[in-house]
């Protein structure tokens, strides 16, 4: 499993402000933004700022911050979209489906009447993602996060 961190990965560029993202949340240790190829409406990514490829080389502090931020953002996604369920996912290594080599957590709303869309397959329109982000941001504000 590749644990050699490359600062050229797309999430590192987003963290440095070199690439755009549709951000919903940020604290000292994490940032959260909309997945541009969402598997369901409201699919959000929580990305630790630490330069770590996967869960195994993330520090304990980073892991703690990530799960707290994931819980916070997932609560807002739940409030904003009222899904039937929410999957939290984190992939380690290409064999496990990891496509971006910077640690991140998926928050994927699940709906009884909708099949999950493909992983990292179809780009969503930026305006649609911005609308989803606004709903999550409003819910975060509501919960005081």
By annotation, the residues acting in catalysis are 104
Backbone angles phi, psi at 73, to 5 degrees: -70, -40
Torsion angle (degrees, nearest 10) of CA 26, 123, 91, 116:
110
Q: Which is nearer to ligand AMP, 55 or 79 (CB)?
A: 55
Q: Which is nearer to ligand AMP, 81 or 91 (CB)?
A: 91
3-state secondary structure of 60: helix
| Closest approach of ligand AMP to the CB of residue 53, in Å | 10
| Closest approach of ligand AMP to the CB of residue 20, in Å | 8
Of residues 7, 10, 62, the one with CA closest to residue 35: 10
Q: Which is nearer to ligand AMP, 3 or 99 (CB)?
A: 99
| Closest approach of ligand AMP to the CB of residue 144, in Å | 26
| Closest approach of ligand AMP to the CB of residue 45, in Å | 6
Q: Scan for tokens 């949340």, then name that residue.
A: 25
Residues at the site binding ligand AMP, with contacts judged by CB under 6 A:
10, 21, 33, 35-37, 45, 91, 97-100, 120
Backbone angles phi, psi at 7, to 5 degrees: -70, 0
Q: Which residues of 56-78 are buried (b: 16+ CB within 10 A; e: fewer)?
A: eebeeebbebbeebbebbbbbbb
Q: Which is nearer to ligand AMP, 120 or 128 (CB)?
A: 120
Tokens of 101: 């080599």
């Amino acid at each position: 499993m590749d644990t050699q961190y490359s600062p050229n990965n797309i999430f590192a560029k987003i963290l440095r402000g070199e690439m755009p993202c549709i951000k919903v949340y940020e604290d000292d240790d994490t940032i959260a933004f909309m997945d541009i190829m969402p598997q369901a409406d409201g699919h959000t990514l929580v990305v630790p700022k630490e330069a770590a490829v996967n869960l195994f080389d993330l520090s304990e502090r980073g892991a703690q911050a990530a799960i707290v931020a994931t819980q916070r953002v997932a609560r807002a996604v739940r409030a904003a979209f009222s899904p039937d369920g929410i999957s939290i996912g984190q992939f380690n290594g290409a064999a496990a489906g990891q496509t971006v080599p910077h640690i991140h957590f998926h928050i994927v709303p699940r709906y009884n009447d909708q099949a999950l869309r493909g992983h990292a397959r179809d780009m969503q329109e930026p305006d649609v993602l911005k609308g989803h982000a606004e709903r999550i941001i409003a819910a975060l504000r509501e919960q005081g996060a």
